[in-house]
Structure formats: structure tokens, C-alpha cells
A and B are shown apart, each in its own frame.
Chain A
Amino acid sequence: MSREKHTDINLDGVADSREGWASQLGLVLAMAGNAVGLGNFLRFPAIAARNGGGAFMIPYFISLLLLGIPLMWIEWGIGRHGGKYGYSTSPGMFQTLWRHPLAKYLGALGVFIPLAFVIFYTYIESWTLGYAVLSFTGQMPSIEGQSPQQAFSTMGNFLGAYHGTNNGWPVSGSVMSWIFLAITLFANIYIISRGISGGIEKVAKIGMPLLILFAVIVGIRVLSLPGAMGGMAFVWNPDFSQLTNGATWLAAAGQIFFTLSLGTGSIETYASYLKENDDIVLTGLATSSMNEFCEVILGGSIAIPAATAFFGAGAATAIANAGTFNLGFQTMPAVFSTVPAGFIFGGIWFTLLFFAGITSSLALSQPAMAFLQDELKLSRQRAALIVGSIIFVAVVPIVLFLQHGYLDEFDFWSGEFLLLVFALIETILFFWIFGGRKAFNEIKKGQQINLPGFFYPIMKYVVPTLISVILIKGTIDSLIPRMFSKRWVDAAGFSKATAGVGERLMYEFGLAGRTLVNNTDITSYETTLRWVARFEMIALCALVMAMTGIAWKKYGRGRLAKEADAA
């Protein structure tokens, strides 16, 4: 596999001097770094606890077997197959699977989605860096003498001050949050500008072992707290009645989908740097196992047990329902403030979250980087500068309108909904248009362990069916209420009875009236801002599609797939 700078001859006879991975272990760690993120440590334990505890592991592992691992192999297969023709991103990869002009534009989603994702993810990642520095330097607020509830409130106010959401202004963003955002963005851009083996792989080789070491240290400290085993009981004691609930099975399938970073387009890009006969079956399985280790064993032993030890078992449900950010940025700092040398453990906790975040954000940035380098023939440094500039410009409104749902809107579309859409498209293209048997044999090429034949029907039938079910459920539960539950009544006096033509038009386009998002009745001001966020994403998507069209016309990138056919 060693080919830091390989020069293969493509099927069109053109020398392919794209970069590559220096070692199989480096690839596994980089892929695992892509998958392991904040969700492993904050989302999984809360979801498990809410959906039957130990019994949740039954649908969880079944989903891993029927959806997670097969879909991951599909993405690896598409990536390595596209890489064979010199494509590093999904526009070209999809063109090799489906000879239709539309294919490249569907593939453009695989560049747009990770780019939109990394825009808001970088900001969240910067919070972990900021909190790590504040913890290590003892700058976190003191909660001495406070009850757990008061401590939680203190940490909430501190988080609000960090975000600048409680400054009384219509826009948020504190000086400190801007500084750490700039540092985080610079670190990301610097690393991706160093390339695959010289940047991403090196960071993964250092970051992933450190992440695991830090998680073990924090986990041992947490489990030694009095009452922490109550949290373990909350996470693991089985409630079998939940197994007859369809929502539990969907929650398990959704968690598996998101924890493996499926549908982002980043797995395909990483896999494209493999040679045609490099193994993907074992390597993909190793990546999944590492992710499950971080999620189930480490993630399940830290946040909920710590929170339960601090707040008491009676508050466990409230903690699990309070959400990822509350658990990570309010509950955990409060817990560490009460233990001896807590500033060190708090610092370690946020550093491990930062490592989890940066290895994921690098993977999310790489499709855009590879697209600019390979399809638009830009140098690596120039591509990194452009990606960094796009992220910076696009993240500004997210920082400024954080409290008005701007980040939530990016998260919903690029971090949840579109991932499912993209995963469904790629599965259909690979197994139904390219050909099921061809696709299955493509995945098996160079396998170091045998891929059992029963995975063929799973990949062809079960995977697209499961994705469709999750997608339909997500549409009914989240998309429709978010987009269409408009109401005329408004605190500002906006009502159907008094509305003029202009107001009626604004209402119809969702720019006025009230909307129900995440069970919260939001104002027309926030509705408008959410539409601005949606338009920002649409503009970004249009830009990527336009650049895809340019690459195909100006640089003849579509030629590779056609000549591959002839070959």
C-alpha cells in the first residue's frame, strides 16, 4: 500500500500522480478519525439510555450488520473504483457508475454536503479547543458551594458568555469564540495543505491514539466517582419493552448511520487514494471496530455516568434528554469542577473532544480540496486557501446568529437529511445502475478476509430499504414540521385577518408567520434567518455544481470515464 506519491497509469493512459496513503494502518486511523466525532462521546450514551439501555444494543448491532458496515463497504468500493480512473470526488465517481450527464451533478452533492457540514462543525470544534485551554489554565467558573442545579446554571451562563448569546445584542459571538474559531480554522487549513500522507495521516496517527488514551484516563476517573455506576446502570440495564417500539429500531439505525460518517462523501475521497487491488473489506471492518470501541466502550462510560454521579440518578432522564451540547459543555465542566485536579481532567476531556473533532473536520474538508486539485487543476496550497476562505465567509453568520437557529439549520440539512439522500443515491447507482454483481465483485477485489455472500442481498435490497425508511421517518418527523407548520399568529401582530398581499407572499414563502422547529414555536425573525441559512446552502450547492460543469467542459474531466469504457 505504501505509495505516498504514486504514479499509476490510468485506463485512459494518463499518468495519475495523485497522493496516497503511506500505510494501511494510517488509512485505518484516518478513516476511524473521520468516523469518531463528538457524537460518539455525547450522542450515543444518551440515545442508548433513552431507548432501552442494554436492550438497545440488540437493534444497534443488528443495524451495524445490516446497514452500517455494508453501506461503508459500498462507499469504500465506490471510492476505490473512482480512484482507479483518477477521480477523487463523487462527481467523477458517479460518472464512472452511470454514463449520464446528470450523474456528475448528483455527485456534486458529495462535495457540497461535506463542505456545508464542515462549516458549522469547525465552529463547534473550536468550542472544544477553547474549553480545553480555559480548563487547563483554570479559567472555568468556580461552582464551590453551589447545588448541582446552580452549578448547571452557572455553566450555562458561562457557555452563553463564551458564545456571546447573552450579551443583550441581536447578534452573538464573543471575542474569545472568534479567536478560537480562527485558530481552529487555521489548524485545519494548514493540515490539509500538507496533503494526505504528510498532513491528514500524520495527525490521525498522533491524534487517534491520544484520543483513546485521554478517553481511558477520563473514563477511569469518572467511574471512580461515587454514584457513577448509577449512570452505567442507566445506560446498560435492559428494558425489553422498548424492543417492540419501532422508534427504538429507527433510533438505532440512525445512530449507526451517523456514527460511521456515512453519506458525507468523505469516505469515497479517502478510499480513492487506494490502489485497485488494495483491500477494503478488512480495512473497512477495522475502521468500524475502532469507531465502535470509541463509542460503546469509551463513550458509554464517560458522559452519562459522570452526569449521574453529579446530579443523581433521578436526573438521568433529564440529562439524557438535555441534548449533546448541554451534556458536553455544561454538565461535564460542572462535574470536573467538583473533583480534585478537575481542571486537568476537564482539559483532557475537551482535548479528546477536540481530537475527535479535528480528525472528522479534516475528512470533511478533503472532498472540496480534492475537487479543486483534481477537477479544477489548482495547486494544493491554493485549494486549501480557497476552502479556508469559503469556510470562513460561510461560518460568520453561524457565529452571529447562533441563538436564532442558524447553526441548527445547517446541522439539519448538511449534517442529517442530505446525508441520507446522498447515501440512497450512491447505493442505487452502485448496486442497481452499475450492476449488483459487478459492484459486489468490485468491493471484494484484493480482500484480505473473505466477504460472505449473504452481504450481496443486504447491500442490494436491505441497505436502500433501511435508508429509505429512515429518510421517510426524518421527513415526517423533522422536515415537514420545520418547513410547513406555519401559523399566522405572530407576537408582532402578524395575522391572516390583517395581512396584505406582501405579507401573504412572505407567509407563503415562510418568511413571516411562526414555525414549529424542534417542538419550539419560533418567531418570524428566526424563521427569516433560517431561510437565509437555507439560501446560503443553496448558493453553495449551486457553486459546486457550476464548478463541476466547468471542470467537465474546460478540463474534459468527463473524458476519463468515457475512455475507461472504451478500455
Chain B
Amino acid sequence: MRAILPTHVGSVTNDGVEISYEVYENDGPTLLLIPPSPITHSRIYKGQLPYLSRHFRVVTFDGRGNGRSGRPTGRRQHTRAKNVADIIAVLDGTRTDRAILTAHCHANWWALDLALSHPERVDALVAIEPGVPFFGTPHQHWKDSGETWGEILEDPRGWQLFNRHLIVTDLERWVSFFFDAQLVERHSTKQLEDAVSWAMETTGEILADSEEAQDIDPPTREEFVAFVEGLQVPVLVIHGDQDVCQRVDKGRDLARATKGDLLVIEGGGHLTLARDPVKVNRAIKRFSDKTTGANVSVQTWTRGLNRRKRALYLSSPIGLGHARRDLAIVEELRKIEPDLHVDWLAQDPVTRVLEAAGETTHPASEWLASESGHIASEASGHDLHCFQALRRMDEILLANFMIFQEVVEEGDYDLIVGDEAWDVDHYWHENPELKRGSHVWMTDFVGYLPMPSGGEHEAYLTADYNAEMIEHIARFPRIRDRAIFVGNPDDIYPETFGPDLPKIRDWTEDHFSFSGYITGFTPPTADEALEIRDELGFDPDEKVCVVTVGGSGVGQDLLEKVIDAYPLAKARVPELRMVAVAGPRIDPGALPSHPGLEVLGYVDRLYRHLSVCDLAVVQGGLTTTMELTAAGRPFLYFPLRNHFEQNFHVRHRLEQYGAGAHMDYSATDREGIAEAIARQVDRPVDYRPVETDGAARAARMIAELI
């Protein structure tokens, strides 16, 4: 799922070629983001759009030859003049009188041409890894490969792949090599996949034509230098010093010639906008604000000793379980620090739980891009590839981090608690100078694990993600002031982080404190259970089976399958009553109905139902299964296929408690479910007890920081 969608999309036709644009409406000056087509299209700016469009009006488009724009062939169709005319057509078509241009790589030459021919339409230029002629010195590999460009090589290797014949016949080989070479930064697997997939939307013919078109009508060095030096618009150059496409001295020369600002990203390559988006985004905003004279007109600063203690609490919206335990922790924290003010930065469905509890949600929460919506969009049937879903959530995590960072810079927070706030933890390690306040990282699992279906490549990817996390923490131990594992050392899955990486348990014991499990509620006593049953209308003689799939909207298939099994189960257990809980994101009306079956929507404090049922049928999520474990109820759990956390981490933990009956969704039919219900319902259990002081322990660990 994308982090943000345009306000409107449209297209213009220039010289017979359709050019598609996107507009993100907002007040204030317009930023035009120009992609270096045809090797990529507007999605190259996916890390910039959500953030910049909160502050500016943003227009972007797909250049000719890629994305949703036309695919003209022939060198004459890909000249600078054609591309510049496209840009003007987009400005006209979007009613943009003038704009701050942001361009990447060779699109900067087009942007400079536009500033020369239409200075009245250009407020400023942000030139990222600019590919402009005559400045700096070209890389030797471009000179060499240029010489064999037109030949048919028998066995091209490395930069020789930059060859017309090869690009036309095997585009993927060239772009895979090219972007792999450009992404010099470690742990760039996602950026590489993105860049290659966008490049594969053009054709080899078009890409080759566009390369040759660069040689048509070039200015002389003198002309070009004179024109750039005479340029009147403010310029910011951003350039990675390890760029192997456009050497960084090109950027330096351009900044010097235009008397512009220069931001060199040391260790950065050719795609800093994708690889260091936080730094790049903030630089673009700062420069644009300076250019347009925009300022915050009223600012309040509070003297240190006049400040009330303030915490910002982030509770992951993936599943509802975090909200419950986070509320329990905050309740304990307030016993220690009664004056602590807590703001929550959270999104649906967590906000429902917070509102019901009377908590304060920070107004910026409204801007957050939906993580649970993304996860739901990634699920298909009873299948959620949660590692890949997290990877594909990259632009949403970035968009939300940029919001978070603005909130902490304005909020004077003493404490940031992130319960699986992946964005904060990741981007603060990537941009350590941005850290504010004490930071508590909290999670209930450590380590990405590959699913067997993903094969070797997935094992390589999970190991790479784990390695990055381990390196982050080794290099910047000051980013996590406290790391809390919600559980005990025995709960940790007995595996390594990957080849040549430490054992998860050893590393976690070295780097985390353990709070024990946090249920967020105290299981009822036998008497209380009878009372609750009475309140809920459960007859003492009935055997109540509660079916629930949590709050994420994933799991309709399981609900339907269990509901289908109800008549068969009822035939085996006549006292059986089934209560199906659709949760906040599934329409109860969309589920099948049977006599004797109840279907509920969102249920506040669902743990009360679970803690007094005679059997529960659930997914493999940690919160629900552990609530059942704590309450000592029998239950069947069906981990989502390809969900590594449910299949490995949660299952392992439940085995530590001797709790629940593990079920395989695809291998179990209606009969099987009915049989399991009959076997398990009202069965006495002998689980290892779950601690009830987890929230208090976590609160004490956190309170030490404030």
C-alpha cells in the first residue's frame, strides 16, 4: 500500500506523447519532482512525497518512456528538448505558474535548461546527484563502456553491460547490475528491488534510445558553464560521495558555479533520496523554506524547570494487543510518576482503545499513514507474509517517522516509548543526531525468521535485516536507553539471526531487560468468572466457544471456516454455543449465519469473553493466545500461513506454557475443526502460570529514565 495517494491525477499530451502527472494539493509554494526517465518514474520519490506534501503543494509525473506515460521510440523522441517541453506541459496542465524543482541524476540537465529558458517559472532547484555535463570528471567505467556501446560483445561483464545490444535484448541484466552497483550502502535490498522493478517498466529499446539522445545538440563547455554561472535561481545540491554514476565532484562544481548550497552525504551513493530519505527530506524542506521565506511566526519555548514531565507513547497498530498492554504499563507508570503527562501517537484501531480509556491522542496522529490498512492489504485468505509485508511498508514507516520527528521536536518530551515502533527505532539509528528524549524500545519478539516457502533468498533477506539491526545497536548504543523484551528468556526462539550471526537468545539477553509477559488484565477468579458469564448472558450449562481473529481485519477466512464447522460441532456437543467476534475491521453482516450462532462486531474488553469461555478458536497472534493462557482456557490456534512471528515466535512461547492446540489452517477442514472443538471444549488445562506483574516491572524500568 502507498503511504499517500495524490489529490488528483491527470495527463497532458505533448507532441503526441501522453505524460501522466500526480498532484498533491496543499497551500504554499509548489515543488515539482522530476524523475530521471526513462530508467525510472515518479515512484523514485516515494520517500519524499508523504512528507513534502504535508508542507508544500507537490506535483510529480512520469517522464516519457516509463510509468503511466507514453512509450515513444527513436532517439529523436528522447532529447532534452522533448523532456523539457514535457515538464512545461505538466506545469501548464497542473496550473503551476512556478515551482521549486527537485531533480535526480540526468533530469537535472532538463531542470537547468528549464531555468534558462523559463526563469519566471523556476523558484529554485534541488539537484540530487546531478548528472550534468562538463562538471567534475566522469567515472572511468562510463568512458570505457561508451567505447563498446554499439558493439555486439561476446561475453560482456560488469560495466560492459552498458551496451546497446545487451540493453535491448536483456534489460533486466543491465538494470540489475547498474542499480546493484549504485546502491553502495549495506542493507539496500528493498531499494534495489524497487529500482529494478521500476526500470523494468520501460523497454530496452527506449532506454537505449534515450542514452543516445543525450548526444544530440549538446552545448559547448563554454556555453554551458557561462549559462550555469549566470543562473539566478537558488540551488541546493545533494550528493553522495560514493556515487558511482555521477561522481560527487560534479555536484561540488555545480554548487560552486551556481553559488548554491551543497550537502554531501558521506558514505551515500547515487540514490540518497531512497537510501537516506530522512536527511534528504529535511534538507529539501529547509532549503525550500529558506527560498520562499516561510517561517514559523509564533513559537513557544518553555524554560527547563517550568516543564511538566512529558512522555510520548507509540503503540503499534498491528493487532490490538499492544494497546492493552501499553495502557497497563502507563497505569503503573502513573503510580510512580503521578504528574507524568502522556501523549499517544497512535492510529486506528489502537486509538479506539485509547479513547475508551480516556487517554490523550496527539493531534498529529491523524496524519499517520495506515499500518494496519497496509497489513490487511497484504493478507490474502489465511495467509500473511508478514516479513515481506513489513518490507513493503517501507514508505509508510518513513512517512510516519517524519511525522513523529516533527512531533518530538515540538513537544519537549522527556520520554519516548515505542512499543514496536519500528519506524522510530530504525530511523533514529540511521539518523542518530535526530534523537530527542530518553527512548524505550519494547518488543515481544526479536529476529526476523525466514519462512521455508521463501527459500534461500528469503533466508538471505531476513539475515540482512537482522544484521542491520545488530549493527545499528552495536554502533549507537545510545539510541535505545532501555530495551524491554515483553516476556522471559525462555520465550526466545532457539535460532540464530542467520549465518555467521549470533544466537537470538544470547544477543537478546545481552541487550534487553525482561519484563515478563504483560497481559494488561488480571484473570478472573472462579467466582468472578461466574459473574462475568452471567453478565455476558452465558448459561452455566452452556459450553461457549468464542471465535475471534483480533483487530487487524485479517482473518475473515478463518471466521468463515469455523462458522461453517459450527453445525457439525453442535451435532457432537449439543450444549455448544458459538460467539463469533468480527472485530473492528470486518463487517459482521458479511459473515454466514446459522441458528444458535451469534456474530458480534467490535467488542471492548474482549478479554472478558475470552477469560470465561469454554473454548476459544483464534489466530496465532500473541496477545489473544496469551490472554487465553493467562486465563487458563482451552483454545485452538491457527497461525497465519507465512507469518513468521505466529509460526515460530508465538508457537514457541505457547509451548513454553504448555498452552493451546496448534492447528494447521490449510490441512484442517470443517470436520477437523468440529472434531477439535469437541475434543477441546471445556477440557481442564494445566498451563504454566503467566506472571501478573509484567506491567509494573516494565513501568519500573521505564520510570528510571525520567
Does chain A bind chain B? no
B positions within 8 Å CB-CB of A: none
A positions within 8 Å CB-CB of B: none
